Amino acid sequence: MKSPLPDVQIPGNVPIAMHSFSDYFKGFEKLPVIREIFGEETGKVLSELRVEFFSSKFGYMGVSDEDGHLIVSAYYLRTGEPLSKYLDVVHELVHVRQFREGKALFDESFEYHDRPTELEAYRHATEEARRLGMSDEEIFEYLKVDWLDEEEVRKLARNLGVTPPKRIRGERVR
């Protein structure tokens, strides 16, 4: 059984524009997982972080590779599952730190499921998912994203120490 989400606020309806992260995402500065990501700089980083809400039925969350601000789909905030949105914020905040460290967020010399920056971000999200009581099967479902086929999700899961569910006999890989 999953434990409840931490005491955080993730907005549902947002104005389409650039804003302060802390004005819309409340309580993240207190979370151990976020303090692990940013250390003593947590409060400062989150208070300075900008978030750009955009209007599209496509897309979820990401980080700008130009200035490191968070980019979030207003549609996803309205329609996404609370647990997925929470884990996505954790994931993207790792990318914010990576950007601040000068790491290449989109190093295309790696496949997505092998990219060091993605693995680090997913590791934090996966560890938080386990802390919340999610099973490997539930975490595997969380890892499914539009841009990965079933085999790539399985590779990502294995890279993260998540046991993929057994294949159903005759199941085809896309």
Q: What is the tens place of the pLDDT at every residue in 90-105?
A: 999 999 999 999 999 8
Judge whether residue 174 has pLDDT over 50: no
Q: Which amino acid is at 101?
A: E
Judge whether residue 109 has pLDDT over 60: yes
Q: Kindly state whether residue 1 falls inside one of the protein's structural domains.
A: no
Q: Kindly state whether residue 148 falls inside one of the protein's structural domains.
A: yes
Q: Kindly state whether residue 2 falls inside one of the protein's structural domains.
A: no
| Chain segment 57-85, per-residue pLDDT in tens | 777 899 998 999 999 998 998 898 999 99
Q: Kindly state whether residue 131 falls inside one of the protein's structural domains.
A: yes
Domain range spanning residue 105?
Answer: 18-159
Judge whether residue 89 has pLDDT over 50: yes
Q: Where are the beta strands (DSSP E) in the chain?
A: 18-20, 50-54, 61-63, 70-73
Report the domain count for the chain. 1
For residue 73, which phi and psi values (nearest 5 degrees)?
-75, 120
Residue 37: CB partners within 8 Å, gap ≥ 6?
90, 93, 94, 97, 124
Which residues share a beta bridge with 9? 26
- Mean pLDDT across the stretch 47-64? 89
Short-list 112, 125, 114, 96, CA closest to 159 = 114
Instruction: Tell me how far apart the alpha carbons of residues 94 and 100 are, in angstroms, rounded to a whole number.
Output: 10
Q: Kindly state whether residue 94 falls inside one of the protein's structural domains.
A: yes
| Chain segment 14-42, per-residue pLDDT in tens | 767 788 999 999 999 999 999 999 999 99
Q: Kindly state whether residue 46 falls inside one of the protein's structural domains.
A: yes
Instruction: Tell me how far apart the alpha carbons of residues 46 and 23 are, in angstroms, rounded to a whole number.
Output: 10
Which of 7-11, 45-49, 163-167, 170-174 is the most confident on average?
45-49
Q: Kindly state whether residue 54 falls inside one of the protein's structural domains.
A: yes
